[in-house]
Structure 1
Amino acid sequence: MGFADRRYTVNVSILHTDRPLLDRPAAVAANGFSNIEMWWPWPDEPTPARSELDALRGAIEDAGVQLTGLNFYAGRLPGPDRGALSVPGAESERFRANVEVAAGFAGSLGCGALNAVYGNRVEGVEPGAQDALALENLAYAARAADRVGAVLLVEALNRVESPRYPLLSAEAAVAVVDRVNSLTGLGNARFLMDLYHLGVNGADVPAVIDRYAGVTGHVQIADAPGRGAPGTGTLPLGAWLDRLAGAGYEGLVGLEYKRGKEAGEFGWLAR
């Protein structure tokens, strides 16, 4: 299977960032794609004004694209933060305040996946206390996602860019998924398999695919080094996606890479 034969969703928080947020859905449509995903668009505001939510909803609907994935509030992303839900104090409270807002926005657009970024380890706080807080908040988010017909995604990041993030392997992320499902009984927590992060970590990606394809709710790609488009680095993304398809994964593939200097942002598809 070639790259052009797959179903993609374009992450407009890392692509088309040369345009204002409200212009990005139309830019995705102009490139021939029908799906978009995004990080929480207001990194400093977990509960934006209704007018801001309505404007973004209108831009998505007017462009005729489908919102397929949305992050819950995760702090300054991109930036120094890697989520808020396991961070005691104000950040955890901001995450909780955001849950119903994000779920409601996703539900209003038929978005079926909400990503909850775990958060960094905090100096002076016991890891066990952070994990207990995380489980409580993830269960809260899973219940909100379930009410709008969405899955809750948990992902592993890479240790090079996120050394204080505790979920640095597929095994660690899936263990959290299992704990959330056990607590809620809903079964809607799923693994977000980001092939870029796994590749940077030097994981045995084929083994990860074989073991965890069945609990994977979404897949994202970028090449490494550099987090560029497929073909700009050394990761065998095509082979990994073929293996995922062979393992039964039929979902979308998120394009979560940085724009390069080559003409356009999607020339690799034509190649």
Structure 2
Amino acid sequence: MSTPRFLTLPPGVSEQQIETPIGSFAALEALPVSGVAERWPALLVPGLTGSKEDFIAVLQTLAQAGRKVVAVDLRGQYETPGPDDPDAYTCQALGWDVAALVSEIGAGEPVHLLGHSFGGLVVRETVLHGTVKPASLTLMSSGPAGIIGPRERAGRVLLAELPEFGLDYLWSNRMEPEALRAGVPDDIVAFLRKRLLANHPTGLMTMAREVLDAGDRVPELIGCGLDLMVLYGEHDDGWPPALQAEMADRLDAECVVVPGAVHSPAVEAPETTASALTRFWNVAESRILQHG
């Protein structure tokens, strides 16, 4: 569970509904407060139990570099509705959703694609589908296969308890005590409760299975022709930092370790994270424009 740094939208950031041929998606869209969006846009995809609000702390800074930046709720997450069909929530199915979003947001331009945690497993499916070619791909606090460590244990608890007890039980007995022990402010605790209970239970169950049981698809990404970056906190308690560094090496990707951050660098170290992303995106654009 990640905690947004603040919930009041900063200047230049607005709530949007993105209409695609396969459905409508709730989003936060950031545009430069001054100047124009002359650079290629970016799409940010959240992780399990997360939402577009996990990126609030970086949106304004990223947009001020001269690009439109969009953070979305995946199908079944928070403010994006989803069906009862479990097949709608696999990484592969969600990857098609992201492809549709890329086409809509880019409007003919390449789009920088970022996936956080479970979102990283989703966006790599988007790339492997091959129907859209992003400007670049960033895997943030994500890994080569199913998650391990403390977050794996939390995922298995979710799978065991959600069908029997429901979301209210998970919140009251698992997630709220965790937030209170961490000293999360009351208004943020209230938001986290609202967000969790808004998730589609079938979607949450399927996504949890996907993040636990994902296979290693790194070999299929090798040679994809994209600028790649693996970015994670130095104290990540999801996929171990050493495993993410190894993944970056396998992909011949840039590897950025965010000092002091854990599993949510965009929340825990927003300025460092935004700076790394802006630099990476600008370099990727320059390379593509120079070499085609």
- Which interval holds the TM-score relative to the shorter structure? 0.3 to 0.5
Taking structure 1 as the reference length, what is the TM-score of the superposition? 0.39
Pick the structure with more helix per residue: 2
Taking structure 2 as the reference length, what is the TM-score of the superposition? 0.37
Higher relative contact order (CA 8 A, sep 6+): 2
